[in-house]
């Protein structure tokens, strides 16, 4: 191959790489646009946080550090002699200058020219410019473009997830979060862990959820209840209609599911506490978001049955409740505990003391029940949240929480409904690392893994906000 051909090939490769980078950016814009929800009255957050820059030609520049005693006039003279100019002097580093090339010399050649001036130059290096739109090789794009900050997921709306990483956005308090970034240094979750979302169903087709949805394995028989007959449980359980799948027709269950396990680092929407997990929908709430105690019990019974058939259900999330006490519901939850299933329940939204005015199922005094209060982005108990120093165990972010919604959408929602899945999510993270942890030990770990807050002193049993990093340990 002659020398001219080499340059033709190199030019061709450069053009291809540049084209690939531009197409990649268009795909990212397209992915961001997909997150725009349909018209709704709910507050919607769907703006990607990275602002794409227009690709620009850049002049080859050098960073040259001249030896002590070399004057600016001398630097200018040297630069002019090489058809260059002094563009800037970096005041904070004595002798460091930015040299602009005026005659399109190859930057490597230019750098060598300056390095050869050993009497006056300490070092000379090419000023590499890295931006999101640079046509950089693929191996660099994975490191610098998809992960601009190490440890951060590339989900475009992650910056709005103050519960996971509160940097003080929207007048919040920096650090008032569950320390997800620290926890993710240890684990991003595991698809071996199944979390049941006992709720209004889950939109299992959602772009940010579908890869983390449970599907009944081939070796697990379809569910059959002696009284209720056969169920279509390929994708979970639907107690409101056994013949149909548990598709969410409300949105509440989909929101809870996203907090627990929206796929992370997939360039789509948000990140769940678990980037990888299996979400099993157990639908008993209808499209209005309410349902009967009996249907809740049947759904719990289903979960226990599936556990006995080998499905690794370790957590049930219960973002619902009322002041109605039911011994039968209590017994069903106890049975779930006996089967090794943690039951995480919302403390309720009446702004009242659960020690005096009980809320169920969160108030059941069972070894597998955790009752969860809600915090705002300033580490204050949310105005609507119930509390109870004897009956509410732990607090978690629950106000203005961004998560998945019906139809590939995302929206903010508030309530202890949004706090409970933070705890369910952290429980699943723990189990990803320690799959054999007993339900009692799991509960104990969660209640000990809190950041104590003055605002919760005398309000809830642990006196703190869940800290996922503490929970997953070393």
Cα-based angle 166, 168, 170 (whole degrees, multiple of 5): 105
Q: How far apart are CA 207 and CA 7, in angstroms?
A: 44
Residue 24 pairs in a beta bridge with: none
Q: How far apart are CA 239 and CA 139, in angstroms?
A: 49
**Strands across the sheet with 121-126, in order?**
84-89, 96-101, 61-66, 121-126
Give the shortest CB-39-to-another protein separation in angstroms. Answer: 13
**Catalytic-role residue among 362, 403, 417, 449:** 417
Q: How far apart are CA 208 and CA 188, in angstroms?
A: 15
Give the shortest CB-457-to-another protein separation in angstroms. Answer: 24
296 is an interface residue for another protein by CB under 8 A: yes
428 is an interface residue for another protein by CB under 8 A: no
Among 25, 50, 293, 301, binds another protein (CB under 8 A): 293
Q: What is the DSSP letter of 38?
A: P
Collapse the DSSP code of 19 into the 3-class scheme (helix H, G, I; strand E, B; otherwise coil) and give the result. helix
416 is an interface residue for another protein by CB under 8 A: yes
Q: How far apart are CA 174 and CA 164, in angstroms?
A: 11
Is the Cβ of residue 59 or residue 288 nearer to another protein in the bound state? 288
Q: How far apart are CA 131 and CA 145, in angstroms?
A: 8
Is the Cβ of residue 116 or residue 323 nearer to another protein in the bound state? 323
Give the shortest CB-270-to-another protein separation in angstroms. Answer: 17
Tokens 């219960």 correspond to 318
Do 417 and 316 contact (CB within 8 A), yes or no? Answer: no
Give the shortest CB-250-to-another protein separation in angstroms. Answer: 8
212 is an interface residue for another protein by CB under 8 A: no
Q: How many residues of this chain bind another protein (CB under 8 A)? A: 37
Residue 473 pairs in a beta bridge with: none
Instruction: Encode 287-316: b = buried (16+ Cβ within 10 Å), e = exposed.
Output: eebebebebbbbbbbbbbbbbeeebbbbbb
391 is an interface residue for another protein by CB under 8 A: no
290 is an interface residue for another protein by CB under 8 A: yes
- Residue of 345, 208, 177, 184 lying closest to 279 (CA atoms): 208
Contact pattern from residue 28 through residue 67 relative to another protein, giving x for each residue in contact according to CB under 8 A and a dash for the rest: -------------x--------------------------
Between the alpha carbon of residue 392 and those of residues 387, 400, 439, the distances in Å are: 6, 21, 18
Catalytic annotation present for 417: yes
- Radius of gyration from C-alpha coordinates of the chain: 28
Is the Cβ of residue 124 or residue 280 nearer to another protein in the bound state? 280
Is the Cβ of residue 286 or residue 367 nearer to another protein in the bound state? 286
93 is an interface residue for another protein by CB under 8 A: no
Among 230, 292, 438, 457, binds another protein (CB under 8 A): 292
350 is an interface residue for another protein by CB under 8 A: yes
Listed ranges 1-9, 203-211, 323-331, 464-472: which one lies at the site for another protein (CB under 8 A): 323-331
Contact pattern from residue 249 through residue 288 relative to another protein, giving x for each residue in contact according to CB under 8 A and a dash for the rest: -x-x--x-----------------------------xxxx
Residues catalogued as catalytic: 199, 252, 417
Q: Which residues bind another protein (CB under 8 A)?
A: 41, 199-200, 250, 252, 255, 285-293, 296, 319-324, 326, 346-351, 384, 413-418, 420
């Amino acid at each position: 191959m002659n020398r001219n051909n080499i340059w033709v090939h190199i030019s061709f490769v450069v053009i291809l790489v540049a084209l690939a980078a531009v197409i990649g950016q268009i795909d990212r814009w397209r992915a961001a646009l997909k997150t725009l929800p349909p018209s709704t009255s709910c507050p919607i957050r769907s703006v990607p946080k990275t602002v794409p820059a227009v690709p620009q030609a850049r002049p080859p520049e050098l960073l040259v550090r001249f030896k002590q005693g070399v004057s600016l006039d001398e630097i200018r003279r040297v630069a002019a002699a090489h058809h260059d100019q002094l563009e800037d002097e970096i005041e904070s580093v004595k002798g460091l200058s930015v040299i602009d090339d005026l005659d399109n010399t190859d930057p490597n050649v230019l750098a060598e020219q300056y390095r050869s001036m050993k009497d006056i130059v300490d070092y000379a290096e090419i000023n590499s410019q890295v931006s999101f739109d640079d046509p950089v090789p693929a191996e660099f794009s994975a490191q610098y473009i998809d992960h601009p900050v190490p440890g951060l997921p590339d989900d475009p709306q992650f910056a709005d997830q103050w519960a996971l990483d509160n940097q003080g956005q929207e007048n919040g308090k920096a650090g008032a979060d569950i320390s997800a970034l620290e926890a993710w240094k240890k684990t991003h979750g595991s698809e071996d862990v199944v979390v049941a979302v006992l709720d209004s169903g889950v939109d299992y087709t959602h772009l940010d959820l579908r890869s983390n949805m449970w599907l009944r394995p081939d070796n697990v028989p379809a569910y059959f209840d002696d009284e209720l007959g056969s169920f279509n449980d390929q994708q979970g359980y639907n107690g409101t209609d056994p013949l149909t799948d548990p598709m969410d027709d409300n949105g509440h269950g989909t929101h809870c599911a996203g907090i627990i396990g929206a796929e992370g680092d997939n360039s789509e929407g948000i990140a769940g506490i678990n980037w990888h997990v299996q979400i099993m929908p157990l639908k008993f709430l209808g499209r209005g978001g309410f349902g009967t105690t009996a249907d809740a019990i049947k759904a719990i019974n289903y979960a226990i049955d599936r556990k006995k058939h080998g499905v690794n259900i370790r957590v049930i999330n219960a973002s619902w409740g009322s002041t109605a006490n039911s011994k039968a519901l209590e017994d069903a939850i106890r049975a779930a505990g006996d089967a090794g299933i943690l039951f995480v329940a919302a403390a309720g939204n009446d702004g009242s003391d659960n020690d005096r005015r009980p809320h169920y199922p969160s108030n059941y005094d069972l070894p597998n029940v955790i009752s969860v209060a809600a915090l705002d982005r300033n580490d204050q108990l949310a105005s609507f949240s119930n509390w109870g120093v004897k009956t509410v165990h732990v607090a978690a972010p629950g106000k203005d929480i961004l998560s998945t919604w019906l139809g590939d959408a995302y929206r903010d929602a508030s309530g202890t409904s949004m706090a409970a899945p933070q705890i369910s999510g952290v429980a699943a993270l723990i189990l990803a690392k320690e799959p054999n942890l007993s339900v009692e030990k799991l509960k104990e770990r969660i209640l000990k893994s809190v950041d104590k807050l003055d605002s919760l002193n005398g309000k809830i049993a642990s006196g703190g906000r869940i800290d996922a990093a503490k929970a997953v340990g070393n």
